[in-house]
Structure 1
Amino acid sequence: MRIVKTLFAIIGFLVFLAAANAAPLQKGEHYDLLSPPQPTDVAPGKIEVLEFFSYTCPHCYHLEPSINPWIKKLPKDVGFIHVPFAGGQWAPSAKLFYTLDVMEVEDKLRGDVFASIHGDKSLNASNDTAIQAWAAKKGLDAKKFSDIYKSFAIQAKVQRALQLAASHKIEGVPTIVVDGRYVVLKNTIQSYDDLLALTDQIIDMARANKK
């Protein structure tokens, strides 16, 4: 009898989940609309997903274990882009992101950056000198890293990140924006997995609206 009750409980929970997933998304509850919509930076026909984040943000740090496997499973018609928050004290960490990206090691060292800031606290990501010392300890060519980090190209990328944050009306991180239109809201979520599940639903909505 206990087994039967357990099975009914599981079935009921699954039915509840299916109903929740089938419920229509509501503007102001699940997402906000950007006005005006912003141009995207992915191939025509693709759906852009931007994650505005900062290495120094503890919420971004806790989101990281969930978002990495989620990104790998995104459909082929979705283009995902990390955008570092670059204002004020966050500018050095944005420069770090773009420098590692140019050196093609950001994916490899991303977890190390977060762990060094929030775990053992061996990296002060608001300080240019500390960042360059950290990079050398990680085995990166110190001169090459420094030259790229201080370059005009990196400064231009940081300025572009600032412009994107402004045009997408970003007030905090992490914030996910789908297809230049839909800002994913956190009103109804209780976990980072919930946030990504809601983002999946909004991606589906964006895809349907494209058609």
Structure 2
Amino acid sequence: MTGFSLVRWGAMAAVVGACLFGGLRTIDVARAELKGKYELLKDEPSTHQKGKVKIVEFADFYCPHCHHFEETGVPLLVKEFGNKIEITMVGFPVIRGKLPTAFDMYEQAKSMGKGHEMKAVLFRTIHKDKIDGVLDRSIRALLIKEVGLDVAAFEAGLESGKPAKAFEDGRRWGERVKLTSTPSLLLDGNIKVDGANMTAENVITVIRSILEQDAKK
């Protein structure tokens, strides 16, 4: 995989390869107020707060491009915009034949205040440690301890079914906004950037345009 640049996300971009759910789409919806290529979802409410862009990252833990985005794309956006952005991951499975355990673990850790830490650990475990099969109790215990959570409380949370429901809600959300690949971004609730539009240059352009529009108000 190539490294990220301000022109392209390298291997993550759908133009040169992404984890697909269905076919490739290129969207260029004109909107006078904003620069860049994106789709404005008219049926989805805006969550925008002045001076901050809320980014929902739809990703699959088993997708190598999502892992690449986590390691290089997220830091690039944080470096570029700092506290003017807020990034939250929502699980959206596109790789067939994988159990939802990783997604449930992420949702449970998120409910216990360690979602970011668990996300990083899960991506590393699956893509660097090459443990992409069954995340059984013994493996889970090691990962839970690594992020600083109580194993018994964590497992009890998993068994409650709440993480599974949260994951399912997120998956349905992705289907509702017609995602076709991962990673994909939803900015402020109704500005979708996905497929061939997922380049560093374009994502930064759209986010910067939102913030510039705020500054003019």
Normalised by the size of structure 2, how large is the TM-score? 0.66
Determine the C-alpha separation between the residues in 1 that align with 2:206 and 2:46: 16
Aligned CA distance change for structure 1 residues 161 and 131 (closer, same or farther; 3 Å): farther
| Alignment match of 1:205 (pick from 193, 197, 209) | 209
Is 1:108 matched with 2:117? yes
Note the alpha carbon deviations across 1:19-52, whole angstroms, 9 max, x for none.
xxxxxxx925953324424224565664321110
Equivalent residues of 2:29, 2:38 under 8 A apart: yes
Unmatched 5+ stretches in structure 1: 1-16, 18-25, 190-194
Aligned CA distance change for structure 1 residues 199 and 134 (closer, same or farther; 3 Å): same
**Which residue does the alignment assign to 2:178?**
169
Residue 146 of structure 1 and its aligned partner are, at CA, apart by 1.2
- 3-state SS in 2 of match to 1:48: strand
Residue 67 of structure 1 and its aligned partner are, at CA, apart by 2.5
Q: Comparing both structures, which one devotes a greater share of its residues to helix? A: 1
**Which residue does the alignment assign to 1:192?**
none
| Alignment match of 1:137 (pick from 138, 142, 145) | 142
Structural RMSD (CA): 3.1
Determine the C-alpha separation between the residues in 2 that align with 1:43 and 1:98: 25
Relative contact order: is structure 1 or structure 2 higher (C-alpha 8 Å, sep ≥ 6)? 2
Aligned CA distance change for structure 1 residues 40 and 147 (closer, same or farther; 3 Å): farther
Amino acid at match of 1:201: T
Is 1:56 matched with 2:62? yes
Equivalent residues of 1:37, 1:180 under 8 A apart: no
**Which residue does the alignment assign to 2:100?**
91
Aligned CA distance change for structure 1 residues 185 and 152 (closer, same or farther; 3 Å): closer
Equivalent residues of 1:31, 1:182 under 8 A apart: no
Equivalent residues of 2:48, 2:189 under 8 A apart: no
Larger radius of gyration: 1
Amino acid at match of 1:84: G
Note the alpha carbon deviations across 1:79-135, whole angstroms, 9 max, x for none.
3221111578463322121112123333234333112111222342xx4xx243322
Determine the C-alpha separation between the residues in 2 that align with 1:173 and 1:188: 12
Runs of 4+ that moved beyond 6 A: none
Determine the C-alpha separation between the residues in 1 that align with 2:197 and 2:166: 33
Is 1:66 matched with 2:80? no
State the identity %.
19
Normalised by the size of structure 1, how large is the TM-score? 0.68
**Which residue does the alignment assign to 1:119?**
128
Aligned CA distance change for structure 1 residues 188 and 170 (closer, same or farther; 3 Å): closer
- Count of residue pairs the alignment pairs up: 178
| Alignment match of 1:31 (pick from 26, 37, 41) | 37
